[in-house]
Chains A and B, each alone.
Chain A
Amino acid sequence: MDNYRNVENKFRRYKAHVSIAGTTQFHIRNPYAIAWWSAAFPGFGHLLLSKYYRGLSLFIWEVIVNYNAKINLAMVHSFCGNIEAAKEVLDPRWMLMYIPVYLFGIWDSYRTSVDMNKVYLLAEKEDAPFNSFSIGAMEINYLDKRKPIMSVIWSLFMPGLGQLHIHRVVTAFFALIWTIVFLYFSKLLLSVHYLFLGQLTESTAVLDKQWLLFMPSMWGFAAYDSYVNTVENNKLFNNEQKDFLIKHYQDPTFRVKKGKVVK
């Protein structure tokens, strides 16, 4: 059950929607920040824009093509100065396929965020009512205020938990599943385990470089995405309550008293 249904279809743009799967909203974004996250990991820029189909397609594409082309492995070798080793591991059959889609991800998310900023300004001006409460058999979602710092802390423990905190079920599910894959194949936790035992050589040797390099972006994105969206959800709550109060609690016959303040 929702508290708003678009029956008359008389509005042109809506600035937000609260559904069982999460809260989606237009808000002002820095296009360069969005482009950067697409560069860190194709798909992240689109996920930040709440464009889940595009974002998740690009994400899966990145994992498959990067893995087969060994882009991450070549990055490790390059940063270490082993250019020959980098040339050695790259697979040209996959590598050349990587470039156009990688650049498309950056370009498209940049372009889309510029566009969506304009749409936000128009939607904000139109100020159409939107659904802000949703209850169903399996879930409940509604607008409320949450602490942004808690989103960051939970994301750092496990990417995806910050998104669960603010009820972004799609991103949360995806981040959680892929973090399992990356952590397992990179043997990162095994490496941390060796570190705790003081065995530094084993700790380094056990790591899988190709899978390991997916993780920094995963952590950074999860923390940034959940943080930004917590802040924006809080702002949306304030705005929605403001409209509600103006609509229902401003009786024109109400007269403010000109008396004396008593203690």
Chain B
Amino acid sequence: MVQIFSTFEHSTNLELAITVLEKNGIQKGNIFAVPLTNRKTERRLFDSIHNADGISLISTGAALGTAFAVIGASVGFKLAWGPIYWGLIGAAGGFALGVCIDVFYYKVIKKQQRLLRGKNSEVILVIECEESQADIVEDVLWHHFAIGTARVV
């Protein structure tokens, strides 16, 4: 018997991989999954699909952008460029100001050490199988976007 170790992100692909393995005759008891608690990532402007800690920097930006758009559109009726341009300038300016405030707050005042970007291994998956099946198992794992695999004999 060999064991194939692999790491994954949480996704539907992971469950698909497990289903395909079971179809190929791997017993449920021979599949061992270890979901990890991940290190928090550095705050960024937008959360990606892979990593969403919900503490990105757009909350204050969205709030100030809306407020400044209202003021810009209002005052714009008196200014040369008119309400639409000034509304847009207000929205963009307010958003930028909000992001700057958050960046300053979280990176200068609070200074958190959070350093993990890009894809994270969120689940360790260990498959026990016959040596003859090992190639197929690895193939299935790679096809379903495993981040890395290793074979232990």
Q: Are B47 and A260 in contact (CB under 8 A)?
A: no
Please report which residues of chain A, range 91-105, place their CB below 8 angstroms from some CB of chain B when the two chains form the complex. none
With both beta carbons as reference points, the residue of chain B lying nearest to A214 in the complex is identified as B70
Classify the secondary structure of A's interface with B.
helix
Assess whether B108 is interfacial by the CB under 8 Å rule: no
Contact string, B40-82, partner A, CB cutoff 8 A, digits 1/0?
0000001111001110101100110111011101111110111
CA A256 – CA B66 in complex, angstroms?
A: 55
Which of the residues B28, B83, B122 comes within 8 Å of A248, measured between beta carbons? Answer: B28
Assess whether A8 is interfacial by the CB under 8 Å rule: no
Instruction: Give the number of chain B interface residues (Cβ < 8 Å).
Output: 58
Assess whether A59 is interfacial by the CB under 8 Å rule: no
Please report which residues of chain A, range 212-263, place their CB below 8 angstroms from some CB of chain B when the two chains form the complex. 212-213, 216-217, 219-221, 223-224, 227-228, 230-232, 234-235, 237-238, 241-242, 244-246, 248-251, 253-254, 256-257, 259-263
Q: Are A80 and B74 in contact (CB under 8 A)?
A: yes
CA A257 – CA B80 in complex, angstroms?
A: 75
CA A152 – CA B58 in complex, angstroms?
A: 11
Classify the secondary structure of B's interface with A.
mixed
Residues in A with CB closer than 8 Å to B65 are 220
CA A232 – CA B53 in complex, angstroms?
A: 8
Residues in A with CB closer than 8 Å to B119 are none
Assess whether A200 is interfacial by the CB under 8 Å rule: yes
Please report which residues of chain B, range 1-16, place their CB below 8 angstroms from some CB of chain A when the two chains form the complex. 1-3, 10-12, 14-15
Q: Are A249 and B28 in contact (CB under 8 A)?
A: yes
- Tell me whether A261 and B28 are in contact in the complex, defined as CB-CB below 8 angstroms, given that A36-B63, A146-B49, A238-B122 are known contacts: no
CA A36 – CA B96 in complex, angstroms?
A: 18
Q: Are B18 and A148 in contact (CB under 8 A)?
A: no
CA A221 – CA B71 in complex, angstroms?
A: 16
Q: Are B54 and A235 in contact (CB under 8 A)?
A: yes
**Smallest distance from the beta carbon of A162 to chain B beta carbons, Å?**
12
Residues in A with CB closer than 8 Å to B128 are 254, 257
Residues in A with CB closer than 8 Å to B58 are 224, 227
Q: Are B59 and A224 in contact (CB under 8 A)?
A: yes
Q: Enumerate the 6 nearest inter-chain pairs by beta-carbon distance, A residue then B residue, closest first.
A: A220-B66, A216-B69, A79-B74, A249-B33, A245-B33, A242-B35
Given A219-B69, A223-B62, A248-B28, output 10 extra A-B contacts at Cβ < 8 Å. A80-B75, A146-B49, A148-B49, A200-B81, A207-B84, A213-B74, A235-B53, A238-B10, A245-B35, A245-B123
